[in-house]
Structure 1
Amino acid sequence: MQLQSLQDKIVLITGASRGIGHAMCLLFAEKGATVYAIARNADLLDKLSAEAQPLEGEIVPLPFDITSASDVEKNVQYIADKHGKIDVLINNAGLGHFAPIHELTVEQWDEMMNVNLKGTFLCTKYVVPHLTRRQTGHIINISSVAGTVTFPGGGGYCTSKFGVMAFTDILTQELKPHNVKVSVICPGSVQTYFGQTEPKDYSLRPDDVAQIAYQMAAAPEHIILNQVIMRPVVPQTK
């Protein structure tokens, strides 16, 4: 499969300050894209932008809260006005709190739904008109294996990630007539200290997920890599 160039593509990546988002920003900039790195931590975004200075593309730090409709609308419009287009949106921002459902706090539940679902909805809502206007573009959602199977203690997280899967499926149907691609990646455990626990040394690396996102975004026009489920190979115990 001959991948397309990302040179001069305008790419928005949420959850960009660390982990998978950080890796995706650097890879897409390496491939020549102008990447808007979105997260709330301005200092981490500035450091990320500096890492991209030797690369072919660039990383533009853009700190704002994806759960705020006004913030999202204002910043998406700013990007579209500046470049005249948006090519790719990667909804990567996400977090998890893990405990039996009756032990989750209301604040933990709301935070997962706000970031994992509402943030994905808001970024998509305000980007879609710029894609359909040009009848081209790509939205890539980062879900999880936890969006395909459940486990005890993952009630809130699984609920939000199953929601991302349904959201992706509906969005695929709605945007297909407009020649806009929609994809989803479902990683298993990744070495990101996600969930405040030490990652296993055999877990996926952030760069592994970034590579799949890149292949999705750079796939030929006639191909949609619709859904990829990624799991690490777990070493056999003796």
Structure 2
Amino acid sequence: MSDGSLAGHVALVTGSGGGIGRAAVLEFAARGASVVGVGRHPDEADALRAEAEALGGAYLHITGDVIEPGTAASAVTRTLEQHGRLDTLVNNAGVGMYADFVDATVADYDEIMGINMRGTFLFTRAAVPHMISQGSGLIVQVASQAGLQGFPREAIYCASKHAQVGFSRALRRELQPHGIKVGVICPAAVRTSFALGRGRDEESLLHEEHFLSAKDVASAIVFMAAQDKGARVTEVSMISLGEAL
């Protein structure tokens, strides 16, 4: 049952098939919002739609790869066709790798920077003109503590997340005169399949107290979206009580 606090709100969420993205779809739906999700796997869409509708929201799935300009353009166009507006863009799709830098390849670099930063750029570029026209909007980047500090065996991932943070800080100032808010969320480790990335195994996820939940991060995203028109939450740093950072 929706609580109605975001009734009429329209959100576009990338990486909606699992983890933080899926949790964000359901958190928005529980507030009565309509959500358009972007993911690579269409077979996940029906179950997610059913859950969103059961919570009192609505869900439309777009299948595509976030590194392709056509996916971003199509997702924004479909959102506007379906709902007539776009209130919140959540750039959540991401990939991680945990390995010694000397073992990294050019392909690793291109994949990580492509999904994490190119995807963010493409979807933001597609959404901003419409948000300027409507005189409002929120853009949320799901970055990481790796966007605020450096971690060994995560150099490329850290670079991509630092890029997201810098991108957000610059856009926040540029888009403020148009009534558009820009925020970035920097969670530490989150207990999802993403936490494994490449280079970790299930043993590394055994300590529950060291991890946030996907719902923790989704709640922060929706908190940003629920602020009054004149209020902005620009950066959220999230760390579990059990993690020593």
Q: Do they superpose with TM above 0.5?
A: yes
| CA distance, structure 2, for counterparts of residue 235 and residue 179 of structure 1 | 37
**Distance in 2 (alpha carbons) for counterparts of 1:115 and 1:147:** 15
Aligned length: 234
Runs of 4+ aligned residues of structure 1 deviating over 6 Å after TM superposition are: none
Question: 1:82: how far off?
Answer: 2.9
- Which 10-residue stretch deviates more, 72-81 or 159-168? 72-81
Unaligned runs of 5+ in 2: none
Query: Taking structure 1 as reference, are residues 235 and 204 closer, same or farther at Cα in structure 2, changes over 3 Å only?
Result: closer
The aligned amino acid for 1:123 is F
Once the two structures are superposed, the pairs formed by residues 199-238 of structure 1 within 5 Å of their partners are 199=205, 200-202=207-209, 203-234=211-242
Once the two structures are superposed, the pairs formed by residues 1-238 of structure 1 within 5 Å of their partners are 5-193=5-193, 194=195, 195-196=197-198, 197=200, 198=202, 199=205, 200-202=207-209, 203-234=211-242
Deviation at 1:46, TM superposition (A): 2.5
More moved, 181-190 vs 69-78: 69-78
Q: In the TM superposition, what whole-angstrom CA distance separates every residue of 1:177-220 from its partner, at most 9, and x where no partner exists?
A: 10101111000010003225332311100011111111110011
Distance 1:235 1:111, change over 3 A: closer
Q: C-alpha separation between the residues in 1 aligned to 2:106 and 2:46?
A: 33
Give the letter aligned to residue 201 of structure 1: E
Which whole-Å CA distance do the structure 2 matches of 1:139 and 1:105 have between them?
Answer: 31
| Matching residue's letter, 1:23 | A
Render the CA deviation track for 1:148-197: whole Å, top value 9, x for unaligned. 01011111100000000011011101101101011110000100032253
Between stretches 40-49 and 83-92, larger displacement belongs to 40-49
Gaps of 5+ in 1: none
Matched AA of 1:100: D
Offset from partner CA, 1:49-96 (integer Å, 9 cap, x none): 122231211121211111111221123122213322111100001111
Whether the 8 Å contact between 1:172 and 1:181 is mirrored in structure 2 is yes
Deviations 1:87-121 (A, max 9, x none): 11000011111212221122111110110000000
Cα distance in 2 between the residues matched to 1:72 and 1:93: 12
Identical pairs, percent? 37
Partner Cα separation in structure 2 for residue 211 and residue 54 of structure 1: 18
What's the TM-score, normalizing by structure 2? 0.91
SS of the residue corresponding to residue 114 of structure 2 reads: helix
Contact 1:16-1:45 within 8 A present in 2 as well: no
Cα distance between partner residues in 2 of 1:160 and 1:67? 14
TM-score normalised by structure 1 residue count = 0.94
Between 10-19 and 43-52, the greater mean CA deviation after superposition: 43-52
SS at match of 2:184: strand
